[in-house]
Structure 1
Amino acid sequence: MDINGAISGRGQNNELIMRGDYTSATVVSTTTNYIMNKDGAFTHTYRTYIKLRENGPLNLKFWHSNAIDSTWDMGEIARGSQLGGEWLIEAAFVADGGKTPSGDVVEGSQIPVTFAGHDTKRVTPGEKFWSDEVCIHLPEGHYLSFTWTISTSSPEMTVPYNVEQMLVTAYDAPGNVAHQESAVSFTESDNLLVLPSYIGYKKDVAEHIVFLGDSITQGVRTTKDAYEYWVARIAEEMGTNVGVWNIGSGWGRAYDTASDGSWLFKAKQGNKVIITLGVNDIDIGKRSAEQLLTDLTTIVSKIKEQNPKAEIIMFTVPTFNFRDEQEDVWRKVNQTILTNPPEGVGQVFDVANVLSQAAPNDNLLKPEYMSSEYDPHPNGVAGKAICEAFMSWYLRESR
């Protein structure tokens, strides 16, 4: 099935997102880890500015999965694979966002995004659906602006979104103002990334790589709009002949993916999948080494079951200043990944070795890679180091 054959709301398991004519247009992760839970019905507009991998004349399509990908915190509100509710897309537009993401768009540049020929789209729980193709010319150095108005008719849980730190600039406003070119009534969003699950553009690429991971893969704690996290840097080094879809999700864990729901569905779309999971399983998930390794094995087997030819690269669990029992689990899991990785893993990259201090303090992140004195999320400097080490390893292993 090519990508055009998958335009439906039925969301069959064999739907192919990144194959055929389209590949991901951005390295920004738009995975979901939370859900809107309002006291009443609402109508609200969201405008987001995205740096695309290529500019110029573009044929874009948007795909969406109305489900939560990964668990937030302990899952009191949002759990991995939980379905979204019912909601309505009242209007959607793409536009030239200009050189500065300031809340407005270039005058006269807005183009409606339609769904099966309609300006509106009613979304049902768990639905997967495509937009129609939209053509836009985006000058070099300019952002793509995506704006849509979403409304609900009930106070229950409705729209999944990403609640982590903003890595791109976005704005939101009450009411249906998607058509509005100016920034009037819009305020800058905080921890509120409301975007389609996949922004694709028509592009023939050599391969489709999916980066599956948690906030470290997503790029959390790096500078907004800087695209300095390691996946963005690797994508830049690989060039646009290689498709890259970042599905890193803040607070995500391996057992979310192993449940074979919406998040793993996305991972299955790549013909090469790079897996970097385990930090949150060890930390908030309090998983044993055996449980985590079982989940990683399940993830790999499910991907290979969908596509036996899929290439799997597994990263060791990144360094995250673990101590005591958590350090023991971290060391055991990484030793196993390095010496006896799950069946189906073709290659292993030791990202922990890049991030760690010298032994015996190799459980600790190098100070210069810390995003703050107390936060071991890798910063942009670490992103550069990971990219350089990975690309050197990757090119050597690919010979």
Structure 2
Amino acid sequence: MTGRTMLGATLLLALATTPAQAQHWSRSWMAAPLVSKAPPEKRPDLANRTLRQVVRISSGGQRIRLRLSNEMSTQPLLLGAVHVAIAGENGETLPGTDHVVTFNQAQGATIPARAPLLSDPIAMAVKPLTRLSISIHLPQGAPDATVHSYSAATGWTAPGDQTTAISLSNSATLGPRVIISGVEVESRKPGTTIVTLGDSITDGVRATPDSNRRWPDLLAERLQKAGRTSIGVANAGISANRLLSEGDGYNALARFDSDVLAVPGVTHVVILEGVNDLGNAARSQQPMLPPEALIGAYRQMIARAHDRGVKVILATILPYKGAGYWSAEGDAARMAVNKWIRDNQEADAFVDLDKAIADPADPARMAKAYDVGDALHPNDEGFRAMAAAFDLKLFQ
């Protein structure tokens, strides 16, 4: 082989192994996959129906792709047509914004049991904080669909394939997220994602529906207003989730790799977990977890995150005196854990959410102005105070 031939072969090999277009993907919206807890007879019949769900992304990009999930299901899932558009009001889509979603350059797909499915890149430029409408036709239904039990947003189902319809006909409302688990954006320069790992307080239970008032939503707004436009916030909260045992969803240590470390573009994780571990011990009259047990769980996540170059921001556990599962013993453990969070040198930083919403006259209790009424969950103003407590310099 001559020198010129060898040079040509080398160039061809380099071209063959170089992507045709640089792709910098980061997650802009997320719902952690869950098993449906509704008994089979109470699940909606989705055969030959269209699902329409609205999500508000955090960061924007030149193109997007969808992540659909069959990860908690034991049967393959047949997808018919899938479309994405800019969302209008009440389930309508904005005219002229509809895009066909393909998978391996084909419309429709079958997702194997226990698997996710990424769509092909969609040539749809989106601005930060855009509301997207995702429509999925299910020809054969989804008897054990992967869901996310709390949505904080209204969804709809309608008969037949109405994925291209601006307004659905004969629709019914849908409570949980179904099948959709992520929206990712592509940018010319690498974008980054903050994952918020937590329980119902992070999931946004009791926030005003359809308002995007959960604290991760408000943190995303703060970042955008501060000019940090390439940073996305992916909400991995699960209502009733725990650090060490099964509540709703796998415990935080079990889902840390899939819900945090596998997220495209992740650079930081904010961890707000533990109150359900303490409260459940009191409610079930089990021995109270020692602070060292929760601290050990945090240390595991710190080590695993640092192995992947991900920074960890620990959030102090919120006050919950007056909640149905509060106990003095549990609160003593909470205060000990919070002291460690404030003093430790293992995490990259902490945010004092406990202090941000505590009642100054009784720090074991949430301030009344921030309490939705159950002494456990913040209201919209409480979520605003939580988002405001973050120093945005933490996300460098």
State the TM bucket, normalised to the shorter chain: 0.7 to 0.9
- Tell me whether 1:258 sits opposite 2:233 in the alignment: no
Cα 1:118/1:215, change in 2 over 3 Å: same
Q: In structure 2, which of residues 154, 167, 177 is the aligned counterpart of residue 193 of structure 1?
A: 177
Cα 1:279/1:149, change in 2 over 3 Å: farther
- Tell me whether 1:332 sits opposite 2:317 in the alignment: no
Deviations 1:263-301 (Å, cap 9, x if unpaired)?
A: 344469622111111122222366613332222222222
TM-score computed with the length of structure 1 as normaliser: 0.77
Larger radius of gyration: 2
Match of 2:273 in 1: 277
Q: Which amino acid aligns with 1:259?
A: A
Structure 1 runs not aligned, ≥5 long: 6-18, 69-82
Deviations 1:332-365 (Å, cap 9, x if unpaired)?
A: 2212222336x4x111221101111125x21110
Cα 1:120/1:226, change in 2 over 3 Å: same
Give the 5 Å matches for 1:145-294.
145-150=133-138, 152=140, 158-164=144-150, 166-190=151-175, 192-203=176-187, 204-205=189-190, 207-239=192-224, 240-255=229-244, 256-260=251-255, 262-266=258-262, 270-284=266-280, 288=289, 289-294=291-296
Deviations 1:162-184 (Å, cap 9, x if unpaired)?
A: 112x4223212244433333221
CA distance in 1, matches of 2:85, 2:243: 37
The residue matched to 2:354 in structure 1 has which SS? helix
Cα 1:241/1:265, change in 2 over 3 Å: closer
CA distance in 2, matches of 1:327, 1:182: 50
Structure 2 runs not aligned, ≥5 long: 1-16, 245-250, 283-287
Number of residues of Structure 1 aligned to a counterpart in Structure 2: 350
Match of 2:389 in 1: 389
CA distance in 2, matches of 1:185, 1:201: 33
Q: In structure 2, which of residues 66, 70, 76 is the aligned counterpart of residue 86 of structure 1?
A: 76
Cα 1:205/1:387, change in 2 over 3 Å: farther
The residue matched to 2:280 in structure 1 has which SS? coil
The residue matched to 1:134 in structure 2 has which SS? coil
Cα 1:151/1:339, change in 2 over 3 Å: farther
Q: Which amino acid aligns with 1:272?
A: H
Q: In structure 2, which of residues 98, 104, 111 is the aligned counterpart of residue 116 of structure 1?
A: 104
Contact 2:318 2:353 (8 Å CA) reproduced:
yes
The residue matched to 1:364 in structure 2 has which SS? strand
Deviation, 1:154, is 8.2
Q: In structure 2, which of residues 47, 50, 53 is the aligned counterpart of residue 45 of structure 1?
A: 50
Deviation, 1:97, is 2.1
Cα 1:266/1:218, change in 2 over 3 Å: farther
The residue matched to 1:49 in structure 2 has which SS? strand
CA distance in 2, matches of 1:62, 1:398: 25
Contact 2:57 2:129 (8 Å CA) reproduced:
no
Contact 2:52 2:136 (8 Å CA) reproduced:
yes
Deviations 1:81-113 (Å, cap 9, x if unpaired)?
A: xx5542111221012322x2x123234543211
TM-score computed with the length of structure 2 as normaliser: 0.78
Match of 2:302 in 1: 300
Amino-acid identity (%): 21
Give the 5 Å matches for 1:121-132.
121-132=109-120
CA distance in 2, matches of 1:97, 1:116: 25
CA distance in 1, matches of 2:127, 2:253: 41
CA distance in 1, matches of 2:203, 2:129: 23
CA distance in 2, matches of 1:267, 1:154: 25
Contact 1:257 1:264 (8 Å CA) reproduced:
no
Q: Which amino acid aligns with 2:77?
A: W
Contact 1:33 1:250 (8 Å CA) reproduced:
no
CA distance in 2, matches of 1:167, 1:90: 26
Cα 1:107/1:242, change in 2 over 3 Å: closer
Cα 1:285/1:42, change in 2 over 3 Å: farther
Deviations 1:236-275 (Å, cap 9, x if unpaired)?
A: 2222122322212222222312125633444696221111
CA distance in 1, matches of 2:33, 2:374: 26
Cα 1:144/1:317, change in 2 over 3 Å: same
CA distance in 1, matches of 2:200, 2:130: 26
Q: Which amino acid aligns with 1:209?
A: I
CA distance in 2, matches of 1:138, 1:274: 26
The residue matched to 2:31 in structure 1 has which SS? coil
Q: Which amino acid aligns with 1:61?
A: R
The residue matched to 1:201 in structure 2 has which SS? strand
